[in-house]
């Protein structure tokens, strides 16, 4: 009996520590991302580990930039913004990132187990200091509009004002221009190669990229592209 109980306890511990199931179409990403609720993003102040943080959770909507500014202004002790989101309004994500950057020293973080996807990436990039904890997921949307690969790459690399039509989910329907994304990354100190090598690259199907349109950067990649900009972060 004692042996049986020990075996059951070991099995339970293994289950708790098991890696999450991965998405076969997007093999770098979890099958069930923890990106928060499907309502407009909520901003909840909290104390975590002795510091004041803002829990930013849910869908990015047009009103988020104003709500973010109000939330930061309301708490002078705020140090970090923790993010999990399935994305949403692309331009609102861009503008919210700019709001965050307007507060010197404000940090952004994707905690372990949380996922920041698509337009959430641009909110996250607004942090003057950026952390992706081990187990945190920085998930990007790969824009794979058939026939547009060369146009997109050229626009990103040259910084021109060429309009690039991007299709897909909400982010693509609202159509951020490649040149706008390029400018944003430069301002936030993120490598433009994140666009040309991952987000706006029509990757071959199969292998690490899979057949889907999602890609989750590992710890080496978040450093390579300067998504994480603090030595020892994560």
Contact by Cβ (8 Å): 96, 123: yes
pLDDT digits (tens, 9 = 90+) for 186-199: 999 999 889 888 88
> Structural domain boundaries of the chain?
22-224
Amino acid 67: pLDDT = 98
47 or 169, which is more confident? Answer: 47
pLDDT digits (tens, 9 = 90+) for 201-224: 644 444 465 667 899 999 999 999
Tokens at 125, concatenated: 């990039």
Tokens at 113, concatenated: 């187990």
Q: Which of 220, 203, 219 is nearest to 211 (CA)?
A: 203
Contact by Cβ (8 Å): 132, 230: no
210 or 116, which is more confident? Answer: 116
* CATH class held by domain 22-224: alpha beta
Q: How far is CA 194 from CA 71, 150, 177, in A?
A: 30, 16, 15
Give alpha helix (H) positions in 126-229: 149-158, 170-174, 178-188, 193, 219-224
Tokens at 37, concatenated: 């609720």
- Our measurement of the distance from residue 78's CA atom to the centroid of its chain's CA atoms, rounded to an integer in Å, reads 21
Among the residue ranges 4-8, 131-135, 150-154, 195-199, the one predicted with the least confidence is 150-154
Q: How far apart are the first and last CA of the chain?
A: 42
Q: From the CB of residue 63, how many other CB atoms can be counted at a distance below 10 Å?
A: 12
Contact by Cβ (8 Å): 144, 164: no
- Coil/strand/helix, residue 115: strand
Inform me whether the pLDDT recorded for 73 exceeds 50. Answer: yes
The DSSP call for residue 212 is S
Whole-number Å distance between alpha carbons of 129 and 109: 9
């Amino acid at each position: 009996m004692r042996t049986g109980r020990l075996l059951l306890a070991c099995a339970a511990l293994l289950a708790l520590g098991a890696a999450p199931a991965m998405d076969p179409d997007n093999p770098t990403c979890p099958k069930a991302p923890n990106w928060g609720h499907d309502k407009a993003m909520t901003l909840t102040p909290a104390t975590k580990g002795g510091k004041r943080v803002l829990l930013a959770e849910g869908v990015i909507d047009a009103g988020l930039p104003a709500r973010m500014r109000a939330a930061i202004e309301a708490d002078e002790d705020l140090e970090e913004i923790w993010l999990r989101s399935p994305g949403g309004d692309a331009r609102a994500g861009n503008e919210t990132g700019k709001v965050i950057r307007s507060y010197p020293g404000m940090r952004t973080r994707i905690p372990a187990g949380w996922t920041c996807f698509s337009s959430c990436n641009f909110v996250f990039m607004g942090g003057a200091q950026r952390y992706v904890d081990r187990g945190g997921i920085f998930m990007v949307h790969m824009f794979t509009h058939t026939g547009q690969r060369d146009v997109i790459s050229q626009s990103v690399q040259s910084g021109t004002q060429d309009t690039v039509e991007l299709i897909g989910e909400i982010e693509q329907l609202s159509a951020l221009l490649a040149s706008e994304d390029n400018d944003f990354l430069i301002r936030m100190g993120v490598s433009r190669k994140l666009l040309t090598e991952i987000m706006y690259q029509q990757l071959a199907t199969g292998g690490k990229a899979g057949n889907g349109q999602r890609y989750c950067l590992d710890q080496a990649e978040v450093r390579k592209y300067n998504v994480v900009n603090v030595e020892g972060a994560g």
